[in-house]
Structure 1
Amino acid sequence: MKRVLLILCFLLLTVGAQAQQVVDSVCVDTALIGIISTESLFPPERSFGNFLKRTGKSIKSGIRFLDKTDSTYIEPNHYDWTVMGQNSNFFQVISMSAKTEKYHYQTLSFRPKPMFKIGPYLGWRWIFLGYSVDVSRPSSAGKSTEFDFSVYSSKVGGDLVYIHNNGNFRLRKTEGLEGVDKFQFSGTDFHGLEVNTLSVNAYYIFNHRRFSYPAAYNQSTLQKRSAGSVIMGFRYDKQKLTFDYTQLPSPLNERDSVSSVMSDELKFSRLSYQDFCLSAGYAYNWVCARNCLLSISATPALGYRAEKGTKVKYDKLLHNVIRYVAVDFIGRAGFVWNTGDKFAGVSYVTHLYGYHSRHLTIANSVNYLNVYAGFYFGKKPKYLRQ
């Protein structure tokens, strides 16, 4: 009997210990549930609408970060919508210069037929959409593709330029060629030049709280007081030129039996290179009169040139330093009349891409001239009572 009682006591103690362990486990789990939020244990269902809301908030936060300004110098736009009409003009100049055996220079200058575009634009806050038509010549005559895109904010900005021009050039002038007048062949069509240009430029504006590029070039702010800023950035350029001098008018293209008056250095057939540059410059906005702003900036760039088919000879790097150094330039100028609800103005932007070797220099100048006028509508909610 005693043995049975002992066995029963042992079983009761064992079951009691196991029960206590279960209770302890439940208490621990309950404590964890108190610490971990219900939302973490049971996350809400993710939807596409919530994703769009989160994305929109992130974009707005990024824009606010890029557009922090000093209100005594810069006034933000009070409207959500913008309507604008714009006339866009694009023109390019290619200049080739070579040193002759007699140590004087010969220069050939070309330019494509200019583009004259007009069109309407509609903007919502920082997004602009529009369509422009080239009215300078019939569409069948076009042999070029031109695209440019610029971003202007208070802190940072950027430019993207792409141009492909295939044979749509005219001779502009010839200099230093014996027996050939400077403007003898001016306006003559030339189909022996093909130019491809790709350029990406990004920069940072140091005095962004007081200086506003958008006030001068995309009318999204108002510059109330004059201010300037140092600008620094990075740019990448890729250039490719194909040149057939035999399509030049006589006597420039004479060869074989008759000696040409043109230097052999100008008789290259293909040139391809890339530039990697650091840029630094200065920009200034001058509030010259009530509601009137005059802006000007200059940003030279200096860097390294990688020419296709040419290897860097490090033992002669200093001797041939001019061959590997890239020197480029971006200039801007603009005049704006802006009352806060309507505006008009003109802007000019030039990109200069330079190539230099011991005997050959090529300058590719890309230029944009815009004339525009428009008005704002749809006030932002926080400005409705003003």
Structure 2
Amino acid sequence: MLVASLMCVVCVPAVARKKEFRNVKKVVRGFSAIDTAYIEPQHFEFTAMLQTTFTYDIYELRSPGGQSITFSPDVIMKVGPYFGWRWFFLGYTFDLKNIGFSSDKRKQELDLSIYSSQIGVDFYYRRTGSDYKIRDVNLGDDTDMSGLSPLSFDGLSVGITGASLYYIFNHNRFSYPAAFSQSTCQKISCGSWMAGIGYTRNSLDLDYGKLQDAVNSYMGRTDVKLDSGMMFNSVKYYNANVSVGYGYNWVFAKNCLLNASLSAVLAYKRSKGDTNDGVDEFSFNNVNFDGVGRFGIVYNNMRWYVGASAIIHSNNYRKPRFQTNQVFGSMNIYAGYNFGKKKKYRKK
């Protein structure tokens, strides 16, 4: 009798643990639950892909006096192989312009997006280095600065680190993975609302002395001055945000999908910076609207796939003394092959 009682004491925790494991397993499976009338699940365990990635960055500074300067580096193209197993995807891309060496070791870029049926995650880390070019200049109504563009300018450095998490409401019938990770196929056109949260940290360093010297050198005189809003050493700004958006998958032909999704971002932003005159008023608390756009087109017959996708972020800060606008993102062109058919899809 005593032995039986002890056995029950031992068995109860084991049964409870087994039940908890089943519950966790059920929750995990829920993240990939789909309506197979709308979405065809992945039939293969592995994939191999070759991808070309283009990254771009446009940065505009604007003063209350009407002056504005737009900077952007040359578009960077990278090519590399990728290999995937189920949800895990690894690869590396090479900068074709600088194979074997780096023209600016401070330049670092990492963009990572994870797409499941219910939840998507974006992470981006960028340090632009100092390879910007002046693309557009407006220093006054009667000042022609068109000849200054494009001019290499190493006095600007921008950094951005951010992450966002968003939930897809109609995840059973609308598939983000079909458009951006090629792990499913959308069979019937469908859309979904989505909502998310995020956090971003930015840094901006500007050598306004070099910028003024570039203007003076081009003009051949020193009477064209930058507004005080352009004259700062550095500024750092942070934002916490919430977003809401809508995405749509259009199946315009068999195995062919076109996706477009847009999200409006309401961001609370806090900034600190140093100005040339030392006045401690270059700090502001702010609420602004930003935006995120995703676009993709893909052909996927479950064995072979080819397509292109792009993600674009737009951030802005607007206060009476200082305004910035930044647009950055990446575009991917890819082709791949799936292999290693899952057991349940093998012919018996």
Superposed pair shares fold, TM > 0.5: yes
Structure 1 residue 329: deviation in Å?
A: 1.4
Partner of 2:305: 343
- Classify the secondary structure of the residue corresponding to 1:166: coil
TM-score of the aligned structures, taking structure 2 as reference length = 0.87
What code does the residue aligned with 1:299 have?
S
Partner of 2:17: none
- Counterparts of residues 82-231 of structure 1 (less than 5 Å): 82-100=47-65, 105-137=66-98, 139-142=101-104, 143-181=106-144, 183-231=146-194
Distance 2:314 2:26 in 1: 35
Contact 2:60 2:70 survives alignment (8 Å): yes
- Counterparts of residues 302-381 of structure 1 (less than 5 Å): 302-308=266-272, 323-381=285-343
Superposed CA offset, 1:354-380 (max 9, x none): 111113210121120100001111100
1:233 correspondence with 2:206: no
Structure 1 residue 63: deviation in Å?
A: 4.4
Contact 1:323 1:356 survives alignment (8 Å): no
Cα 1:58–1:145, aligned 2, differ >3 Å: closer, same or farther?
farther
Distance 2:7 2:135 in 1: 82
Distance 2:169 2:162 in 1: 23
Distance 1:353 1:203 in 2: 18
Structure 1 residue 111: deviation in Å?
A: 0.8
Partner of 1:315: none
Structure 1 residue 38: deviation in Å?
A: 6.2
What code does the residue aligned with 2:115 have?
Y
Distance 1:35 1:227 in 2: 52
Contact 1:277 1:326 survives alignment (8 Å): no
Partner of 1:259: 223
Superposed CA offset, 1:327-367 (max 9, x none): 22111001001111101001111111211111321012112
Distance 2:263 2:59 in 1: 20
Contact 1:177 1:262 survives alignment (8 Å): no
Distance 1:67 1:188 in 2: 50
Cα 1:131–1:349, aligned 2, differ >3 Å: closer, same or farther?
same
What code does the residue aligned with 2:70 have?
S
Superposed CA offset, 1:95-130 (max 9, x none): 111121xxxx22101112321100111111111111
Identity %: 34
Partner of 1:5: none
What code does the residue aligned with 2:341 have?
K
- Classify the secondary structure of the residue corresponding to 2:5: helix
- Counterparts of residues 279-318 of structure 1 (less than 5 Å): 279-308=243-272
Structure 1 residue 269: deviation in Å?
A: 1.9
Cα 1:359–1:221, aligned 2, differ >3 Å: closer, same or farther?
same
Structure 1 residue 78: deviation in Å?
A: 0.3
Distance 2:52 2:23 in 1: 35
Contact 1:275 1:326 survives alignment (8 Å): no
Partner of 1:268: 232
Distance 1:125 1:97 in 2: 46
More helix by share: 1
Partner of 1:32: 5
Q: Which has the larger radius of gyration?
A: 1
- Classify the secondary structure of the residue corresponding to 1:294: strand
Structure 1 residue 220: deviation in Å?
A: 0.3
More strand by share: 2
Structure 1 residue 173: deviation in Å?
A: 1.1
- Alignment length (residue pairs): 330
Distance 1:64 1:253 in 2: 64
TM-score of the aligned structures, taking structure 1 as reference length = 0.79
Distance 1:289 1:35 in 2: 60
Superposed CA offset, 1:194-251 (max 9, x none): 1110111100000101111000001000000111111101010111101112212656
Distance 2:246 2:133 in 1: 35
- Classify the secondary structure of the residue corresponding to 2:215: coil
Distance 2:73 2:27 in 1: 40
Cα 1:183–1:218, aligned 2, differ >3 Å: closer, same or farther?
farther
Distance 2:46 2:145 in 1: 51
Distance 2:82 2:337 in 1: 11
> Which deviates more, 70-79 or 111-120?
111-120
What code does the residue aligned with 1:265 have?
G
Cα 1:200–1:131, aligned 2, differ >3 Å: closer, same or farther?
same
Distance 1:244 1:360 in 2: 16
CA RMSD of aligned residues (A): 2.6
- Classify the secondary structure of the residue corresponding to 2:148: coil
Structure 1 residue 36: deviation in Å?
A: 3.0
